[in-house]
Amino acid sequence: MNKHSSVLCIYLFFSYFVLNAQNEEKGKFEINGQILQRAEYRHGHIDPLKEQQEAANFITQRARLQAQFSFENLTMFMSVQDVRTWGDSPQVKLSDNNLSLHEAWAHYKLDDNWSIKVGRQELNYDNARFLGNLDWFMQARAHDFAMIRYEKGNRKLYIGGGYNQNGGNLPVAEAPFIVPNQYKSAQMLRYENKSENWYYSFLAWNESRQNAQLEGNPHFDNLTLGLPTLKYTFGKNQLSGFAYYQTGKDFVGKLLSGYDVSAQYQRSFFHDETTGKRFRMIAGFEFLSGTDTNETEKNFSFNPLYGTNHLFNGYMDVFYVANRHINSVGLNDYYLKGRYEFSKKFFIQLDYHYFQANAYVNNGLENLGSGLGSEIDLSIGFIVSPAFSIQGGYSHLFQTDTYEFIKGGDLNSTQNWAYIMLIFRPNTTQKFIGILF
């Protein structure tokens, strides 16, 4: 099906339900949408800037149209999106490759507690460290997945899986799976529960990846077990953390053994419910295991496979975002954050991170120091109306010689990033994106 046929089908899908939305006997139809526009100045964001390189300046946009149809125990949902950089297609054009299907799923309630959900869907749980919808990046993330769900009160149990193939042409059994950064099959079990003070969850994620670059196109399995959320709230204080362990084999067949642990303490110093004024601070750490640079037999590096990694380890995104720093020396991140909310509509937040390598860094002659540098992130958000928010930020990375060695050397002495974003999302309570507190 070509691009024009896809657009026509999507148009007919929405038109059909719009025309029938007023008939209660045929179900309930809801339509929603969003437009995000972000202007960025990148001077070392994601990819460290070399001395001879210039900064990047651009504007990206996501326009998303969402439709939901409900009838008795059935809910169907579809979301299409256009993601583009301003100017990447001519003014007069026949077609482009910016339009895509983000989600398309059906959710059926078997009874009051049990249900099934099948189709292309977001997997966005806990703090999105391991499973997140990648909402910060315009393209976002969704899985082709099937899920059995049990929900009763505060208890939730999800069991699901996915099986992926290049296409339906025969003989599929002989064709290696070559879609990049994608698993061949995956299985998931997740459980959560909470009480007045406690909130916790458990996750088991197993996946198999096929490496078409190796002889025989072998499959390699790895298993991640974790406590994605462990949270205790008492008065104005909150203790929280998470822990994961990863085992099996990595994509090239090396034995894998990695971990990710984090703990933090949050204190609310004051909160005026009427005006919305509030001040909070967080102190914490995250340790992601790494592999010594001279280790060749095993892989001790933890991989936060499908997380929204922009939320963690500084907003410069030099660690783990877009597969950077994967299978490397790991990371120890010590951080301190503070947020002041002037009202229910306006906040300012300042974060500080100190980074260390989790494993030894050797340049071939000697072990280098573990310090990678520090980062300061300033974030500001303002809700103009229930449909429109403005968000912006500035980040600055102060790197060390060890960081420069890991990232390739000859780096510009100044590594920084700034952005401003317009958020038009009228029917959601999430008015800001990509800021974790």
Is it the case that residue 367 has pLDDT exceeding 80? yes
CA 315/CA 310 separation, integer angstroms = 6
Provide the 8-state DSSP code for 14. H
Percent of the chain at pLDDT > 70 equals: 93
372 token code pair: 């990678």
Specify the pLDDT at position 170: 63
Buried b (16+ CB within 10 A) or exposed e, 5-42: eeeeebeebbeebeeebeeeeebebeeebbebbbebeb
Q: Domains of the chain by range and CATH?
A: 3-424 (2.40.160.100)
Contact 32, 66 (CB under 8 A): yes
Specify the pLDDT at position 174: 65
What single letter denotes the amino acid at residue 428?
A: T
The model carries a pTM of 0.92
Specify the pLDDT at position 172: 57
Is it the case that residue 108 has pLDDT exceeding 80? yes
Q: Looking at per-residue confidence, does 436 or 187 come out higher?
A: 187
SS3 311: helix
Length of the chain: 437
Specify the pLDDT at position 178: 86
Smallest Cα–Cα separation from 222: which of 190, 189, 256, 188?
A: 256
Specify the pLDDT at position 22: 52
Q: What is the mean pLDDT of residues 329-343?
A: 98
CA 83/CA 80 separation, integer angstroms = 10
Contacts within 8 Å (CB) and 24+ apart, 94-97 = 95/3, 95/4, 96/3, 97/3
CA 296/CA 298 separation, integer angstroms = 6
Helix %, strand %, coil % of the chain (to 5):
10, 50, 40
pLDDT for 123-181, tens place per residue? Answer: 999 999 999 999 999 999 999 999 999 999 999 999 999 999 988 776 656 678 888 88
The residue written with tokens 């204190």 in the block is: 267
Contact 194, 154 (CB under 8 A): yes
SS3 171: coil
Specify the pLDDT at position 228: 98
pLDDT for 392-433, tens place per residue? Answer: 999 999 999 999 999 988 999 999 999 999 999 998 889 999
Q: Residue 65 pairs with which residues in a beta bridge?
A: 33, 80
Which of 58-62, 88-92, 284-288, 326-330 is predicted least confidently?
88-92
pLDDT for 268-324, tens place per residue? Answer: 999 999 999 999 999 999 999 999 999 999 999 999 999 999 999 999 999 999 989
